[in-house]
Chain A
């Protein structure tokens, strides 16, 4: 009985630890503010990204194909309620500031902010916070992205 209890406790602890893998910015933002702000989150998983790369339209489009190869997941969070836009933007900026060691501000202006998270040589996450057409939009890409990719992504 005691041994079974110990085994169960250990399994639970390990499961908890396993579940505590890294969470991306969009998921964290939705977790914290999903109830107070009306938002919709659209997700593309790593598996879907692989399926996307096999699309016939991408086979001829080498540029996009090479770009998408560096991206593993995409999350798009949209808030269309204009009354909540400012609040949502502020909360997202605040969350990024709270995790300043993790998310480094790469570019900013009054309506846009871009943060990146770096691991080693690669950028593993890029977050765009923007106010467009009166609504708040958060785009979160994760993957193994190079600086050149990020540069092209922003400047093109």
Chain B
């Protein structure tokens, strides 16, 4: 008998070029009882494939599974478990954000409290002066020039001879003034 066709199919099978129909031909051929000696070594492979195709869940599979899960089949049939579909609202979706916001709020609160206590300490050292030092950028680099400008600025507070007669400063009528005077 000429097995050239089978040998060609086998060659194509190893090269993964066979179609499903050709593979079925090979399985049918190797499931025969009598297979030529030089092809007998491939028989086991094709018989194994055939055997695997027949593998399926046994009839007692459900029973075994329920027993393993500890569920009595009869009881579960009488009182079937009801699973209620829950609504996934926007509030649920935003829940991770609430946590993040809470974390930010806590850290900010702690930061503010720390800053406040530091500021209080700084203020007690500065006698109440509560301005941001970093906000003052010097216009002069030379202390002498800065001094001259500073003295000019202080002089402006004094009543000048030209304005003193006409515009005598009148203390404003308020509580702070009374205390000051």
Contact = CB atoms under 8 A, between A and B. Distances in A.
Contacts of B126: 72, 144
A95 interface: no
B149 A120 contact: no
Contacts, number: 181
Interface string A104-123: 11111111101010111110
Contact of A108 (B147, B153, B169, B181): B169
A115 B169 CA distance: 12
B96 to A, nearest CB: 8
A27 to B, nearest CB: 6
A139 B176 contact: no
Contacts of A83: none
B138 A48 contact: yes
A146 to B, nearest CB: 10
Contacts of B149: 42, 44, 74, 76
B176 A104 contact: yes
A23 B131 contact: yes
A100 to B, nearest CB: 10
B111 A13 contact: yes
Interface bracket on A: 35 or more
A75 B162 CA distance: 24
A42 B100 contact: no
A84 interface: no
Contacts of B128: 119-122, 124, 144
A110 B168 CA distance: 10
A27 B160 CA distance: 26
A42 B152 CA distance: 12
Task: List 4 A-B pairs, minimum CB-CB distance, nearest first.
Answer: A45-B136, A119-B128, A21-B132, A10-B107
26 contacts: A5-B100, A13-B107, A13-B108, A14-B115, A22-B130, A44-B136, A44-B149, A44-B150, A48-B146, A52-B143, A55-B147, A57-B144, A72-B126, A72-B131, A76-B153, A104-B176, A107-B170, A110-B167, A120-B128, A124-B130, A139-B156, A141-B153, A142-B129, A143-B129, A153-B158, A154-B159
Interface of B: 96, 100, 103-104, 107-108, 111-112, 115, 119, 126-133, 135-140, 143-144, 146-147, 149-154, 156-160, 163, 167-172, 174, 176-177, 179-181
